[in-house]
Amino acid sequence: MSSTIRIPPDIHQSLQEIRLSLESRHFSAAPTLQDIVSVALKRFIQDWNNSGEQEQILETLLQHRQEARSRMGKKLKLEK
């Protein structure tokens, strides 16, 4: 089952730069953004399943969520 997700502009830009650098070396066989994201998610799942990494990953996830909520609050204030 596929799903559409939002990617912050800075991360999207970094992924595009990676893709373009690979494209210049691998031409038509270059990975797409979907390929890059799929590999990253598989690695995330592997890291998550490694119990020694879970606490650090959870801390990073919670920090990211807090930052995203903070940005969303700023956007809502600007729109009012």
Structural domains of the chain, count: 1
Q: With respect to residue 3, please indicate whether it lies within any of the assigned structural domains.
A: no
Q: What is the mean pLDDT of residues 44-57?
A: 89
What is the rounded CA–CA span in Å between residue 38 and residue 66?
A: 25
| Least confident window among 8-12, 24-28, 62-66 | 24-28
In degrees to the nearest 10, what's the CA dihedral of 18, 5, 3, 60? 80
The predicted model gives 5-33 an average pLDDT of 87
The answer to whether residue 56 sits within a structural domain is yes
In this structure, is residue 72 part of a structural domain?
yes
Residue-number span of the structural domain to which 73 is assigned: 9-79
Average pLDDT over residues 45-59: 89
Average pLDDT value for the chain: 85
In a domain, 57, yes or no: yes
Amino acid at 10: D
